[in-house]
Structure 1
Amino acid sequence: MSSIDPATMAKQLATIETQKFQQRYSTQKSEYQDKLSAFGKIESALREFRTSVNEMNNSDSGIIKNTASTTEDGFFSASADSKALTGSYQIFVEQVASAHQVSTGMPDDLEATTRVPTTGTLSFTVDGETLALDLSSIDSDGDGVVTIADLNSAINNHPDNPGVNATLVRSNGKTHFMLASEKTGLKNSINVTASGTGEAWFESAFASLKEISPARDAVIWLGAKNTGLKLTESKNTFSNAIEGVDITLNKAQKSGDSAIGMDISADKSGTKEQLNKFVEAYNSLMSKVNEYSKVKGEDKKRPILANDPTLRGIESQLKSIVRGSFSGLRLNEIGIEIDRNGKMKIDADKLEKAQLNKSSALENLFNGDDQLLDSIDKAISPYLQFSSGLFKSRKDSLQESISRVGDKQVALDRKYKMSYDRYIKQFTQMNTLMRQMNQTMSLFG
């Protein structure tokens, strides 16, 4: 009677007992992991779509693009956003804005090591805001000595600085103490007073500032100088003086010069480029949704998220929105159509006619309050919230299912080990009995 291999037999029988459960758990875990991966990829695609939509739906970048051009370069530049109305204007640049710059009337032999008073106050006022600098507070090392370099640093680094830059300027062996306003315009003129220092030369220096560059407002005329509409601004950019148009000044014209022409016109290629981005972003998202939810191919293989309610919700809401009416228009009326496969495409001829005849309605359709792009963002938001979004909820649920399957697999491993240990004990005992029987039988030869 031959012996048996207890380890082999124990392994085979323990495997038979647990194999069907192991296969079931492995299949379940693989399915949950595939769904989790698919949700992650669709969530990523949805975030990319939302980012694209938001980039086209802000104050700096709308769907509709306009362009600004001038008849003469060098004096000013202009840009137009989607709110600008097409038209021609005449601009005369009388004066560019400048920042106030002054120097003190300190001694000609002023050096960075020159001592300044350690008592009293030096006050700076710009546009109604004041810094009252306590001169006793700028003695950084406590030796009772404050240099002009210490004063320079204290002004520039003070948290209450109202917008004044202090600078030491050296020329021909002399050092000058200068103050400059950070911003242009009359309202940003610098006013300085020194008091309570006990040093006449110091207080006199700030009482008799030498003006290097005056504070000026920018001045332009819509139309000819002195007969058109005069506009002033503290900075060199006039934002929305004409709605949707920014005018940035470079230099002033001479008296007697003619006003410069500025034309605002529709940027057809820029608008079409924006619309192409929107169409591509939409198609990319829907392609990803279809990849994981639609039966396709000759084998009619069922995708991992077929008939999933979350994907059906996204698809249904977005299709309803893009087929809806906004500002009295639908996308198909301006040349953006959705074919029977759900793919969005542009009819170039139809779009060009809409740009020509319905430009303001186009802007409202996409970028108006609570219109197309706002509606898309509102529909997407519940899916993408980090703490309570629908995608997070689905992924958390799948992760919990994976964890439960993992717990079952751990329990199954314990069951396998217990079965293996029981069988190996039984077959070891059987081997022992078989050897004993073989020995007994040999006695009877």
Structure 2
Amino acid sequence: MDTNFVSALGGGSGIDTTSLVKQLVEVEKAPQQGRLDSKKETLDAQISAYGILKSSLAEFQSMLEPLSDNDTFNARSVSFPETDVITPAALDADAQTGSYQIEVIEVAQAQALAINTAVEDKNASVNVSGALTISLGAWTYDGVDNDNPIAFAENEDQTALTLDITSDDSLQDIADKINGADSDVQASVLLVDGNYQLMISAPSGEDNALRISADDPDLNNMFAFNETLRANVTETQQGNDAELKVNGLTVFRESNEIKDVIQGLEFTINKASPGDKFTFAISADKNTAEDAIRGFVEAYNTFYETAKSLTGISTNAETNETSRGDLATDGSAKTLLNSIRNIISTTVPGVSEFNALTNIGIRTQLDGTLEIVDKEFDAAIADNFDKVASIFAPQTSSTSSYVDVSVGSYATNTVAGTYSGAITTAPSKGSAVGDTAPALPLDTVASPGDYTFSVTVDGVTSGELTLSGSFATADDLRTEMQSLINNDATLKEAKAFVDVVIESGGEFKLASREFGATSKVAIATSGVEFAAASGLSTASVSTNGSDASGTINGDAAFGSGNVLLPKIDTDPYGLNFTVRAGAPAEDFSFTYSKGFAGELSALFDSFLSGSGVIKTREDNINNQLDGIEDDQVSLDRKMDVYTDRLTQQYLAMERIISSFQTTGDSLTGLVDRLPFTATS
């Protein structure tokens, strides 16, 4: 309240005590309030400056991403001619450079089978039931018109599917069951001349043709397509491989989507065009890396100018006035900038030569920014491009041809450098070896008996399997056994598979496809005739697999299968070591480099993390700001008390003065009323 009611009513001293108190309080508060306001203004400016610094760091870090990717330095370009024979689909960063000539002789196509049974209602029951088995493999056709399939060789890489057909199933139901199975076989119900027919198609390729059989006569008569029965099924299209010539070399592929003929180049065959040859070249694309490096230098200079303006003193070129950055007195910000400058000017850990920016013509100028010396930079790109890549991108190497080093998912804190390692045990797969070579030829129909068997693979035991058919060679029998085992439902569900190979003595060897101590194969059960024919029995010798073992940088490594992992929290932890089978017990050395971009990005991550220097400093500033708020409350409270005290003091003075005035008024005219006095 600013109104002095005592003075307004004509009483008291006549002094404006309210205004006087206010002025005295302001004089008392001013220096303390000034200190608080100045400190708050400084801290607010520092918080804002750290926000700018973080944004600049994040933007600069994003420019490092291409340089930390080896694909940037493995980029490729292709000069492809205009043609409708093939269409390029993808060019990988590590595509094999060179000149290529391609001629497409034949396109791949899928076998298609039409079930001749036609029905008016595709959803009506076809009244057959049983187990329908569809296998994939290659048919051998007769030499007359090449229309009659006479022998089938099952594809070891494909698994057969067995469908349970019930008497209530319609053509559409059967098609749905085929399409719903875990297989590349597809089925469709087509409307042909007013009736519906089932069409079954295989994946493209000669080795993916279909063989269909059933355990029920009626089901077999309707759907079978095999060596002995196929009267009700028409092969509308045979399966063929794509055939092409690459630089004169004939190549066959199952699909028209070609991904593995020329390393890193994917293309699609559209049509056959024998005699039509076209040439193209794949070359290294150095421009991608060069642009990324130049972009990095530009981004660094932008960041450095921003950081320098925040942490240093700048001079206005026009007025020659100097101004101090908001973080000029902040030690944390200056340390951050110095750390970045140190990485810029030092060698890259883990790279023995050509390991600094100066090696490729990137120099630090007097003002702290970077410049590219074009002559040196162009020479480095032209003559030492691989070494340029080793400066920027992560690199791993091993002196052992049996050990591959790769960067794992925990490599964030892996320390770059050169380390030692040792292999003491090579990884192996569990296996079972036959007692004798198989007895061939074998015809299970002509020589009936107990040809059942079961196997245990990696701790999982198959169901009962039955060997049947006629086998002229060991390879025929090997193929059938591998197909039987790997198509077992129990083993397929557990993803426990084997490879059946023929040993040098002719014995069969069943080997797990997994490395490690849990890798095991054994003959669980064997019929008498099966054992005699295959040479495999429950007495066959089984050998368990083994995990790789060894040391990494002097510490015992953790081995699992064919992988070795360094001890946790050691410098190489985060790297993965893949050991090949048959590796000898030997010492080796390996090198890991994060690359310049990786080292700098890791530093930025530490700055920007939740526990990094920027977050710590921001928390400290915010705590100080909270303290200023508390000090402001305390000061305001103190000034309120001071105001009340001064107000009370001046009120007391006013009361005294008022009392004096009352006494004076009472004395006024007193003399006139005294005896023997008169006024003149």
What is the TM-score of this pair, normalised by structure 1? 0.74
Match of 2:327? 305
Equivalent of residue 442 in structure 1, options 655, 665, 671: 665
- Matched residue, 1:328: 353
- Per the alignment, do residues 184 and 381 of structure 1 end up closer, same or farther by CA in structure 2, a change over 3 Å counting? farther
2:310–2:325 contact (8 Å) kept in structure 1: yes
Q: Partner amino acid for 1:279?
A: V
Change (3 A) 1:221 1:24: farther
Secondary structure, counterpart of 1:73 in structure 2: coil
Amino acid at match of 1:32: L
Structure with greater Cα Rg:
2
Richer in helix (by share): 1
Distance 1:7 1:33 in 2: 35
SS at match of 1:393: helix
- The structure-2 alpha-carbon separation of the partners of 1:56 and 1:333, relative to structure 1 and needing over 3 Å to count, comes to closer
Match of 2:607 in 1: 383
Is residue 73 from structure 1 mapped to residue 83 from structure 2 by the alignment? yes
Q: Does 1:401 align with 2:624?
A: yes
In the TM superposition, what is the alpha-carbon distance from 1:232 to its structure 2 partner?
4.1
Separation in 2, partners of 1:100, 1:272: 50
1:419 aligns with 2:654: no
Partner Cα separation in structure 2 for residue 415 and residue 194 of structure 1: 99
CA contact (8 A) 1:110 1:176 kept: no
Query: What amino acid is aligned across from residue 321 of structure 2 in structure 1?
Result: D
Change (3 A) 1:57 1:216: farther
* One-letter identity of the residue aligned with 1:364: S
One-letter amino acid matched to 1:238:
K
2:25 corresponds to 1:14: yes
Equivalent residue in structure 2 for 1:361, among 382, 387, 390: 387
> How far 1:209 moved relative to its partner?
7.9
Specify the alignment match of 1:292 in structure 2.
310
SS in 1 for 2:248: coil
Preserved CA contact (<8 Å) 2:46 2:327? yes
1:23 aligns with 2:41: no
Q: Superposition RMSD on alpha carbons, in Å? A: 4.5
Q: Deviations over 1:200-231 (max 9, x none)?
A: 689956988877887776665432243xxx37
For residue 280 of structure 2, the aligned residue among 237, 262, 273 is 262
- Does structure 2 retain, via aligned residues, the 8 Å contact 1:6–1:423? no
Q: TM-score, normalized by length of structure 2?
A: 0.51
Please give the per-residue CA displacement for 1:256-291, whole angstroms capped at 9, x wherever unaligned.
333x32312243544432222222222222122112
Seen in structure 2, the aligned counterparts of structure 1 residues 86 and 129 have a Cα distance that, compared at 3 Å, is closer
How far is 1:400 from its partner? Answer: 1.6
Relative distance call for 1:232 and 1:3 in structure 2 (3 A) is farther
User: After superposition, where does 1:10-409 map in structure 2 within 5 Å?
Assistant: 10-58=21-69, 61-63=71-73, 65-74=75-84, 75-77=86-88, 80=91, 83-84=94-95, 86-93=97-104, 107-111=118-122, 114=124, 204=222, 221-226=245-250, 230=251, 232=253, 236-238=257-259, 242=262, 245-258=264-277, 260-297=278-315, 298-306=320-328, 308-323=330-345, 324=347, 326=351, 328-329=353-354, 330-369=356-395, 370=593, 371-385=595-609, 387-409=610-632
- The 3 A distance-change label for structure 1 pair 185 and 355 is farther
Structure with more relative contact order (C-alpha pairs < 8 Å, separation 6 or more)? 1
State the alpha-carbon separation in 2 of the partners of residues 442 and 132 from structure 1: 126
Gaps of 5+ in 1: 137-144
C-alpha distance in 2, partners of 1:42/1:150?
A: 65
Give the whole-Å Cα distance in 2 for the aligned partners of 1:206 and 1:426: 117
Q: Name the aligned partner's letter for residue 375 of structure 1.
A: E
SS at match of 2:616: helix
- Structure 2 Cα separation of the partners of residues 415 and 110 of structure 1: 96
| Contact 1:218 1:236 (8 Å CA) reproduced | no
Which amino acid counterpart does residue 21 of structure 1 have in structure 2?
Q
Q: Which amino acid aligns with 2:313?
A: V
SS of aligned partner of 1:296: strand
Q: Secondary structure at the match of 1:248?
A: strand
Q: Confirm or deny: 8 A CA contact 2:114 2:233 kept in the other structure.
A: yes
CA contact (8 A) 2:81 2:279 kept: yes
More strand by share: 2
The C-alpha deviation readout for 1:243-266, integer Å capped at 9, x for no partner, is: 5x32322424423333x3231224
Q: Distance in 1 between matches of 2:333 and 2:172?
A: 67
Letter in 1 for 2:24: L
Partner of 1:139: none
Match of 1:224, as an amino acid?
G
Structure 1 contact 63–274 (Cα < 8 Å) conserved: no
* Alignment CA distance shift 1:331-1:179 (3 Å): farther
Distance 1:414 1:170, change over 3 A: farther
CA distance in 1, matches of 2:160, 2:339: 56
Q: Distance in 2 between matches of 1:33 and 1:223?
A: 70
Contact preservation (8 Å) 2:66, 2:292: no
1:45-70 Cα distance to aligned partner (Å, 9 max, x none): 112222221234235x4156431112
Cα distance in 2 for residues equivalent to 1:161 and 1:426: 97
The secondary structure found in structure 2 opposite 1:341 is: coil
In 2 relative to 1, CA 151–108 (structure 1 residues): closer, same or farther, beyond 3 Å? closer
Q: CA deviation at 1:37?
A: 1.6
Distance 1:296 1:39 in 2: 18
- Could you say what secondary structure the match of 1:264 adopts? strand
- The total of aligned residue pairs comes to 423
More displaced 10-residue stretch of structure 1: 92-101 or 313-322: 92-101
Aligned CA distance change for structure 1 residues 15 and 255 (closer, same or farther; 3 Å)? same
Following superposition, the deviation at residue 432 of structure 1 comes to 4.1
2:371 match: secondary structure: strand
For residue 444 of structure 1, report the CA deviation from its aligned partner: 3.6
Q: Output one character per residue of 1:272-323: Cα deviation in whole Å (capped at 9) or x when no partner.
A: 3222222222222212211211211033322222264433444333333333
